[in-house]
Amino acid sequence: MKNVVMRSLAILILSAVLAAVGCGKQDSSGQAGSGGDGATTEPAADDRTCVRGGAKATGLLKIAVIPKGTTHEFWKSIHAGALKAEVELKDVDVDWKGPVKEDDRNDQISVVENFINAGVAGIAIAPLDNVALVRPVREATKAGIGVVIMDSGLSADVCTDYASYVATDNYVGGCKGAERLGEVLGGKGKVIMMRYQEGSASTMQREQGFLDTIKKKFPNIELISSDQRGGATTESALATGENLLNRFKEVDGIFCPNESTTFGMLLAIQQSGLEGEVKFVGFDSSEKLIRAMADRQIHGLVLQDPMNMGYLAVKTLVAYLRGEAVPSRIDTGSVVATPENMNEPRIKELLSPPIDKYLP
């Protein structure tokens, strides 16, 4: 098991390094530059491994997997990956539960507390707030429950408060979004970045990477708005997108940092009659976003590998519970899908992962 996890990590790190060439990286302190909005530090990539103290877990392991929300396609892929790991591993039972809305901090905290009271062996969680979830995660660890953080960072200590962080390098993902938008704009123009919501470490890092890369690489691109938030739902993102397009009549390019903001902004662009005219780069995938990219209403989507993220989160957590050393940081990588490459086999798989094979 240990060899499988370590070998997977080595492949993922190599892929991420090759993909990130030319894209700025944060320093070890997490400081990404001066263009951001208090972006939250993600654990730096390093060679550390974490080992659980005490006795190794034996017998059937109850593993709770807690997403930020349960409605977006991204979380369905995480769920499928977790169930794939359950199928492959012996004596593992995955229990999936999370809030419906991605801004319901109290609901996610309650889910964690309920799993602590139920006495699960381990928790894999995507914290929807990098600060609010620290206390319940620490309570789980104190109760002897193994914890792996996935997708979005937590302002806590790896190897002390949790065993591993399994996620995209979100800062690099934001860099890639900026590079794609700069490319399709020919290096010049007026650009809007619509943020997601406060407290979401993953999207805050993407926003920071985008801002830093635009500033560093594209001096002839003018950022005309970067402080408006789309919020946790498509409806709120649509409303913010409409306000931005009404306010800024001359806009050449737009970037959004997750699935809901990308889809909400797409609807705003369509309702404004600007589809195809405004260069648009988003993040993550859904059937509607894929169709829009095929129609060249979207010019790039930064794709994560959420199915692999869910899979590795559960496998890493089980390895940790069974006494194996696990990497403190696993980067699951990202690529940019475009209208030109979207039919390539690997890109197609990331756009439409085989989730139906595992979901009930």
| pLDDT score recorded for residue 30 | 34
- Reading the block at residue 91, the tokens are 């004596």
Q: Does domain 170-303 have CATH number 2.60.120.620?
A: no
| pLDDT score recorded for residue 350 | 98
Q: What CA–CA distance (Å, rounded) separates 143 from 68? A: 22
pTM score, whole prediction: 0.87
| pLDDT score recorded for residue 43 | 56
| pLDDT score recorded for residue 7 | 42
| pLDDT score recorded for residue 44 | 56
Domain with CATH 3.40.50.2300 in the chain: 2-168+306-332, 170-303
Cα–Cα distances (Å) from 6 to 13, 18, 272, in that order, read: 11, 19, 49
Coil, strand or helix: which one is 279? strand
Q: Report whether 282 contacts 207 (CB < 8 A).
A: no
Count how many Cα atoms sit within 13 Å of the Cα of residue 31 in the half-sphere of its side chain.
3
Q: Report whether 293 contacts 337 (CB < 8 A).
A: yes
For residue 100, give the nearest of 56, 60, 58, 70 by alpha carbon.
Answer: 70
For residue 311, give the nearest of 3, 71, 69, 94 by alpha carbon.
Answer: 94
Q: Report whether 312 contacts 52 (CB < 8 A).
A: no
For residue 152, give the nearest of 133, 176, 136, 177 by alpha carbon.
Answer: 133
- Among all chains, which residue has been given the structure tokens 């010049």? 188
| pLDDT score recorded for residue 24 | 53
Cα–Cα distances (Å) from 12 to 83, 248, 308, in that order, read: 21, 40, 11
Q: What CA–CA distance (Å, rounded) separates 60 from 122? A: 11
Cα–Cα distances (Å) from 200 to 114, 119, 153, 168, 309, in that order, read: 22, 27, 8, 14, 17
Cα–Cα distances (Å) from 20 to 26, 170, 173, in that order, read: 12, 11, 9
Q: What CA–CA distance (Å, rounded) separates 311 from 300? A: 26
Q: What CA–CA distance (Å, rounded) separates 335 from 191? A: 22
Superfamily of domain 2-168+306-332: Response regulator (3.40.50.2300)
| pLDDT score recorded for residue 1 | 45
| pLDDT score recorded for residue 4 | 42
- Reading the block at residue 53, the tokens are 């103290």
Q: What CA–CA distance (Å, rounded) separates 226 from 207? A: 9
Q: Which residues of the chain have pLDDT under 70?
A: 1-46
